[in-house]
Amino acid sequence: MSELPRLEVLQGTLDLLILKTLDSLGAQHGYGIARRIEQVSADVLSLNQGTLYPALLRLEQQGFITSEWGVSDNNRKARFYALTRSGRARLTAEIGNWRRMTAAVEGIIGAPSGARA
């Protein structure tokens, strides 16, 4: 098989992915967030889905998201997470940081290789 291996989510980017997902989808439960991340990344990113929950608690403690119990599409009790106002601000900042980071990394690896003496 010539399929490329799936990439682990980079350390520190999980928060950004969660915030962005909630921004696009609105209130969503943990399973929904995980599915969305894998689908949108066209299954390039692989997520250890259990790690989502400590991250969600952390974001909630920081006041970026809120949670409440609701009912899923298939009529099951599920916990829905939603972005807060400060979470949206945080997302904008994180996106800005990410763009600068990738641009910098791209700049370095995209530079022409010099001839060795």
Partner 1 sequence: MMTWLARLRDRVRRREIKAAFDEEMRFHLEQLEADHRARGLSPEEARRAAQRDFGNATRAREDLHERAGLPVMDEFIRDLRHAWRGLVRRPLFTAGVVGVLALGLGAAATIHGLAQAIVFSPLAVPDPDELHIVLESDAPSPVRLSHATAVRLAAEVPAGAAGFTGPTRFTVQRDGQPAGRVMGELVTGSFFRMMRLSPVAGRLLEPADDLPGAPAVAVASHAWATVQFGTPQAAIGREIWVNRQRVAIVGVLPPEFRSTTVGRQSDLWLATVQQTPLRYSGNAWTTGGDDRPNDPDWTREERVSWLNLMMRVPAGQGFAPMPALLAAYAPQRDALLGAFDQESDRVEFTRRTFRIEPAPGGFSSLREGFRSTGLLLGGLVAAVLVLACANVSGLLLVRILSRHRELGVRLALGSGRWRVGRLALAEALILSAGGALTGWILATWLYPVATGLLAPGQTVAELTLSPGPLAVMAALTLGSALVCGLGPVVFIARLEPLVALAGHGGLRGAAGRIGRALVGAQLALAVLLVAVAYTLGGELARTLTADPGFARENVLSSTFDAASAGYGPADRAALIDRIDAEIRAVPGVVDTGFSVTGILAGSVSSSGITFRDPRARIRSQAMQGDIVRPGFFRAAGRTLLAGRDFSPDDRAGTPPVAVVSAAFARRVFGDLDPIGQRFGFGSEPSAEEDMTIVGVVADAKLNAIREEAPAIFYRAAAQVPDAPIGFVAVRVEGPVAPVQRAIESALGRAEPAVVFTLWRTLDERVLNDLGPARAASKVAGTFAGVALILAAAGVAASLGYLVTLRQRELALRIAIGADPGRIRWAVLVDAIKLGAIGAGIGLLAAWLLPLIPAVGALLPARLNLGVALVAAATAILATVVAGWSPARRASRADLLVLLKSE
Using DSSP's 3-state secondary structure scheme, residue 21 falls into: helix
Q: Looking only at residues 25 through 64 of this chain, which bind partner 1 when binding is defined by CB under 8 A?
A: 29-31, 34, 48-51, 53-54, 57-58, 60-63
> Among residues 13 and 62, whose Cβ is nearest to partner 1?
62
Minimum CB distance to partner 1, residue 82 (Å): 15
> Among residues 53 and 101, whose Cβ is nearest to partner 1?
53
Using DSSP's 3-state secondary structure scheme, residue 20 falls into: helix
Rounded to the nearest angstrom, the gap between the alpha carbon of residue 15 and the centroid of all alpha carbons in its chain is: 6
CA angle 46, 97, 106 (to 5 degrees): 75
- By CB under 8 A, how many residues form the interface with partner 1? 21
